[in-house]
Chain A
């Protein structure tokens, strides 16, 4: 009966949207580094920590207003307690564990094993309770019981909680964790040295009336101060034996310091590339609008030179680390990730709809471009895909892969050759206009019916007359280009004028066209 009720309740929770939504919200807020509001939550918690430590420090020598203490002991502690309980809640999914166990037992024609499910839930929750961060969290709540004055020292655990909220601190821990074995060895060596030297110095010095080292605690204190090369000088060995021990521990101290320095330095050196990569990925996540270019080749360099004028960020995805290095040397944002792998986009957490303007496939092989194109189409149908085509016979395959715009340089060069052979000057003119090498450019101006009158009026303005050429107006509704339109041509919303003029004059025209009044 109880089993039945537990399973029904688990199914209810699992399908109850408000419950799942709330849990998902708290999971994002507490654990998801990429959740947009998490950084505000982290900043809020860090603010509370600093406030609470400030109150503790101030209380040492000053009288603290009652409200402050109340705020510190109850409000802040209550917030920390709530955070601890929420983390405990979102750490695992109990209803899913029960459902999984139920379905597993059902499949094997066994009765539902309630205790097996409880065991799994218990293990998962204990995993959280026994984690270092959760222990620190729990200890940071302790000052709540402020009647026990000694427990107020636990407020310092709130400082340790900072590790949870500051990303750089988490990174520091992860770097040091990679040298776990070396650190454990160092700690063990240091402790043995301290233990041996403390016992030896105690034996040598404790019975000498001129020595200040009289107790085992004095001996340990002296050993620690000496091995870490601090040497206050408040306790000094006076016997020959004691001085021998001092010499031994001073030499060991140098070894301990150099060993620990080398561990930290080598950990950072080994992780440097990883840290840089992580920082780059973080940088990609905050980009608002960008172009993604797949592959890195000399063509990419040229395309980027042109695209930079559009003031949009450009991200290069290239699986060859050597090419990535080369791109980075050129000052480009490049990641050594395979653009044809779904894993890349999961790792980068790119929001295609909000972040990506278009994807340009510029690998030096058609196979790679089609493969990357198919991967991207699996992820999104909305983003326009552009690709270079190296072999004209593959054109159909590109279309099938869902690539919207295909550029074939061979075909283009062939057609250009025909024009250049017949009309070399005309070709030069068009090429110069398109490559924007001179101040005169060809550009598009989007029009609407509202600006129709002003458009024709401006063309007669002495500033623009004969200096501003309108090649024609492209009617988007009729998909037709009207060459050299006269003033009777009716402009429809969304029509596009194609103009040739000095780039500053075009900007001025645009400004005047859309100016109110």
Chain B
């Protein structure tokens, strides 16, 4: 795993859930709060938190974490403060991986402009789920199981290495469905920037080093493909 430690800013229902979900995956997880109320609330819940302010003094964070392997979750209650926190972190740490929560699509754009690598638009996601449960209940259940439950099916993103057998091939040359029992969902072309295109649209895509391919399939088969891509298997 690229990131070994995580810092969560804010103490609310969202940050509590983030903490619960990621605490097993990281060696070092820290919760940072801005106000005394949040500090006391976390203490009452028996969770250790540290205080921080929105000044540019990040020495406490730098002292606690190895910044090169840190992932940050900006989950403050107030969107304006969250944007400010994101932009402050980005101004100081250029390479830091920042995930920010945004209440609506307007804040989402601001978070992106402020330098967040990924933004979770809360309202949009909740609305998508509600509308999907109403209109496409089976699809919603299947994707939910694949993404969040301990299902044999999962998704995987895979970066094409220099020595990968896929490097230099066209998408239509490889039959992932037939040969690997996997479905290629999308591809991120390094030459085209960070935006992705769906596999169903670009079969003439030339696979190059640095491209990221997103698959869905059974864990063992995904693992086999990963090994093959890395040149472990023939």
Contact = CB atoms under 8 A, between A and B. Distances in A.
B139 interface: yes
B125 A409 contact: yes
B18 A469 contact: no
A421 B70 CA distance: 11
B131 to A, nearest CB: 3
B3 A413 contact: no
A36 interface: no
A416 B200 CA distance: 25
Interface stretch (A39-47, A102-110, A438-446): A438-446
A302 B125 CA distance: 9
A307 B133 CA distance: 11
Contacts of A421: 3, 6, 22, 25, 71, 99
B201 A502 contact: yes
Interface stretch (B35-43, B161-169, B213-221): B213-221
Contacts of A432: 196
A110 to B, nearest CB: 61
Contacts of B147: 415, 419, 430
B57 interface: no
Interface residues of B, number: 66
A500 B181 CA distance: 16
Nearest to A423: B157
Nearest to A297: B123
Contacts of B126: 299, 302-303, 388, 407, 409, 412
A463 B182 CA distance: 21
Interface string A289-318: 001000000110011011100100000000
B139 A442 contact: yes
A418 B154 CA distance: 14
Interface in A425-453: 425-435, 438, 440, 442-444
B156 A413 contact: no
A409 B102 CA distance: 12
Which bucket holds chain A's interface residue count? 35 or more
Given A417-B73, A429-B185, A422 B1 contact: yes
Interface stretch (B47-55, B83-91, B114-122): B114-122
A430 B133 contact: no
Nearest to A476: B138
B47 to A, nearest CB: 14
B129 A412 contact: yes
B128 A424 contact: no
A244 to B, nearest CB: 73
B113 interface: no
B122 A409 contact: yes
Interface string A324-347: 000000000000000000000000
B188 interface: yes
Contacts of A274: none
A412 to B, nearest CB: 6
B192 interface: no
Contact of A483 (B117, B136, B153, B172): B153
A123 B206 CA distance: 92
A417 B99 contact: yes
B129 to A, nearest CB: 5
B203 interface: yes
B214 A413 contact: no
Interface of B: 1, 3, 6, 13-14, 16-18, 20-22, 25, 71, 73, 99, 101, 103-104, 117-118, 120, 122-136, 138-139, 142-143, 145, 147-148, 153, 155-157, 172, 177, 181-183, 185-186, 188, 196, 198-201, 203, 212, 214, 216-218
Interface of A: 291, 298-299, 302-303, 305-307, 310, 357-358, 360, 362, 386, 388, 390-392, 405, 407, 409-435, 438, 440, 442-444, 466-469, 471-472, 474, 481, 483-484, 496, 498, 500-502
Given A429-B155, A466-B200, A496-B139, 14 more contacts: A306-B127, A362-B130, A392-B17, A407-B133, A410-B14, A413-B122, A417-B17, A417-B22, A425-B196, A430-B147, A430-B185, A474-B138, A483-B218, A498-B138
